[in-house]
Amino acid sequence: MGMVDATGFEDLKSGNSLEQLCINLADEQTNHVFNRFFRRLEREEDMREGVDVSPDDSEDGSDLEAGRSVLELVLGRPEGILAILDQETKKEVSKDGDRLLSSRLHSQLGGKGCYEAPRASDITQFKIRHFAYDVTYDSEGFLEKNRNFLSPAVIQVMRE
């Protein structure tokens, strides 16, 4: 089984913020869809050729649990990273907002297999075990970036 890296999965050593999380999420989704699709094609070809397909090989790709775990971790409702970010963004702006977001992420997601909370000194950082490799993100600024709105000029261009 091959992996696709169509969108440019990256781990920026200078710091991974919300934008990089979104880019890596897109790559994670692409990889998951790609692997499910080609796994199904390979299974169908094996069956046509009379190859005994192991009952452990799930046609729907459930053996690709790691990819689904990361997708659930980030996209899950009501307790995925983006859902928690949206909930925290709606709260009143506070100078400790990023730290409060981090604390909530760590307390709610710390037990998930593909999420790793930081050492005490790096409270705003967390690590996700992606299909390609582990990436450390810094949630400092996530709230402000999530509050940003498109300018009226951009909205107008998109409507045209």
**pLDDT tens digits for the chain (160 residues)?**
444 445 566 667 777 999 999 999 998 888 888 887 777 788 888 888 888 877 554 554 444 666 688 999 999 998 999 999 999 999 988 888 999 999 999 999 988 889 999 877 788 999 999 888 899 999 999 999 998 788 888 888 989 8
Is the CATH number 1.20.58.530 carried by domain 18-159?
yes
pTM of the model: 0.75
Residue 34 buriedness (CB in 10 A; 0-12 / 13-18 / 19+): middle
